[in-house]
Amino acid sequence: MKKIIAITLCMAMTAMMLVGCGAAKEAAPAETPAAEATAETPAVETLTAGKLIVGTNAAFPPFEYVGDDGKPDGFDMALIKAVGEKLGLEVEIQDMEFSSLVTSIGSKIDCAIAGMTVTEERKQMVDFSDSYYEAVQFVLVTADSDIAASADLSGKNIGVQLGTTGDFIAQDIEGATVNSYDKAVDAVNDLVNGRNDLVIIDKNPALVFESNFEGKVKAIDGAQFEFEPENYAIALPKDSALTDAVNKALEEIKADGTFDALVKQYIEEN
Ligand code: GLN
């Protein structure tokens, strides 16, 4: 019982600290321009209401997908709910296009979790939490394709999800025609029907699509094409008090075994 009260108190204090940070910044707007900007974002207002509004794109299994009950489910959804619990904040998920996530942070949403890779370009607009997962881009081809190395990619029709790191890699491939889609599965459908020669997409979704389109497509490790490893993190408003709090929550979730249990449940067993 004592333990439960201690935990509840601790969570309440974290929530108060977050709200407190926002309020403190509002009271002293002269401090730094960055702090001022943060205080004015709706993000802080929603936090005061005890809610964390989280953007995602629920079309990226196993990290996010629409569950049988019609609601976003997946590893990232479970992870951000665990973070919310640690912070004493109720998590509300907003499903939107991946390419709109970064620009919506601090206005429509408080943060985004979407298998999002940390990139220098995105860092100009948002801050990232500590990384929680390492990934790499994979190449999906039809079962009978002989695409196997970097040199085979030039001049091809490449399907990607709009605004993703797969999209950025494809744009740099010589002579390639890049076909971009809002939903990755549509790029895979166009691979199967011959409109795309290949699809560039993150490892875990690639493996899910390989099994969902069994016998029709195969997934090739991006290392074979010299693609660099990428790190997923939660995207947050710039200079927000939320970032430290989220990082602390992530640390706790890793230390208490929750993180490994979620990896097992959502990634390894699928
Ligand atoms: N990791 C990729 C990126 O950040 C793809 C993410 C996604 O499609 N949800 O661009």
- What pLDDT digit, counting tens, does each position of 18-31 carry? 543 333 333 333 33
* Integer CA distances (angstroms), 155 to 37, 125, 221, in order: 45, 33, 20
pLDDT at 43 (0 to 100): 47
Q: Where residue 49 falls among pLDDT bands split at 50, 70, 90?
A: confident
Q: Which residues line ligand 1 at a C-beta cut-off of 6 Å?
A: 57, 60, 98, 114-117, 161, 164-165, 202
Measured in Å, residue 245 CA sits from the centre of ligand 1 at 24
- What pLDDT digit, counting tens, does each position of 235-249 carry? 999 999 999 999 999
Contact 72, 58 (CB under 8 A): yes
Give span(s): CATH 3.40.190.10, the chain: 52-133+231-268, 137-228
What is the SS3 assignment for 57?
Answer: coil
d(CA 220, CA 206): 9
Residue with the nearest Cα to atom 8 of ligand 1? 164
Ligand 1: atom nearest CA of 161 is 8
pLDDT at 269 (0 to 100): 80
Ligand 1: atom nearest CA of 163 is 10
- What pLDDT digit, counting tens, does each position of 149-183 carry? 999 999 999 999 999 999 999 999 999 999 999 99
238 CB-near residues (< 8 Å, 6+ apart): 34, 37, 38, 106, 125, 126, 127
Question: Hey, what amino acid is at 260?
Answer: D
- What pLDDT digit, counting tens, does each position of 72-83 carry? 999 999 999 999
Measured in Å, residue 97 CA sits from the centre of ligand 1 at 11
Torsion of CA 67, 45, 122, 132, to 10 degrees: -50
- What pLDDT digit, counting tens, does each position of 186-243 carry? 999 999 999 999 999 999 999 999 999 999 999 999 999 999 999 999 999 999 999 9
Contact 188, 199 (CB under 8 A): yes
* φ and ψ at residue 258, rounded to 5 degrees: -60, -45
pLDDT at 21 (0 to 100): 38
Measured in Å, residue 60 CA sits from the centre of ligand 1 at 8
In the predicted model, what is the mean pLDDT of residues 4-15? 46
pLDDT at 15 (0 to 100): 53
Instruction: Check whether 41 has a pLDDT greater than 80.
Output: no
Residue of higher predicted confidence among 45 and 41: 45
SS (H, E, C) 170-203: HHCCCCCEEEEECCHHHHHHHHHCCCCCEEEEEH
Assigned fold of 52-133+231-268: D-Maltodextrin-Binding Protein; domain 2 (3.40.190)
**Edge-to-edge strand ranges of the sheet holding 127-128:** 90-95, 51-56, 111-112, 235-236, 127-128
Ligand 1: atom nearest CA of 57 is 9
From the number of C-beta atoms within 10 Å of its C-beta (0-12, 13-18, 19+), residue 211 rates as exposed
Instruction: Check whether 144 has a pLDDT greater than 50.
Output: yes
Measured in Å, residue 167 CA sits from the centre of ligand 1 at 9
* Integer CA distances (angstroms), 104 to 13, 47, 110, 140, 218, in order: 28, 16, 8, 30, 35
* Range 137-228 classified under CATH 3.40.50.300: no
